[in-house]
Amino acid sequence: MDATLNPEARIAAADAFAETAHTGQFRKYLVGVPYIVHPRAVAAIVASVPHEVEQVQAALLHDTIEDCGVTHEQIERKFGAEVARLVWALTDQAPRTLNRKARKAWERDRLAQEDAKVQTVKIADLSDNVPSIVAGDRDFGRIFAEEARTLLDALLLADATLRLRLAGLLDAANLEVAGFSRT
């Protein structure tokens, strides 16, 4: 992508690419909600704190390699090396031969070594996922919230405001899975 384009045009290009890539996909725990709503929410969360344009682009594209068959090379050609690096770092890389608990530990340890840009987008991703997963499946929500808490504890370089926001969401999730509501 032409780095001379203004930030809004670069973000719009990533949004359009992600929308096309996720065509026909829907949120698992939000019936009938197009999947693109999630990357857009993650991008908005990232944009709410100090950030670089590439982080917002990566937030929009963060699931395209893992879920859409898009390649790292395609991302790099269209959006540049930095966006491709961020998207790749946000893509689950744990060996599929491991069980879920081992995969999540592997990913936690890997993400803990990533830079603040990656960690901030990952915290934003979790912040959007926690409420819908907990509301959609209380049993799995309990597991997911525990995994997210462990990841939050490891991602020390992420934006502090987003870390606090996620901690609050996880506290609310723990109340919800325990049968309490904050209403």
Residues 6 or more apart whose Cβ sits within 8 Å of residue 23: none
* 27 closest CA partner among 16, 11, 39, 17: 39
Catalytic residues: 66-67
**Closest to 60 (Cα-Cα) out of 79, 33, 73, 81:** 79
CA dist 147 and 126 (Å) reads: 10
Cα 121 to Cα 116: distance, rounded to the nearest angstrom: 9
Q: Which residue in this structure is represented by tokens 């606090």?
A: 164
**N- to C-terminal Cα distance for the chain?**
46
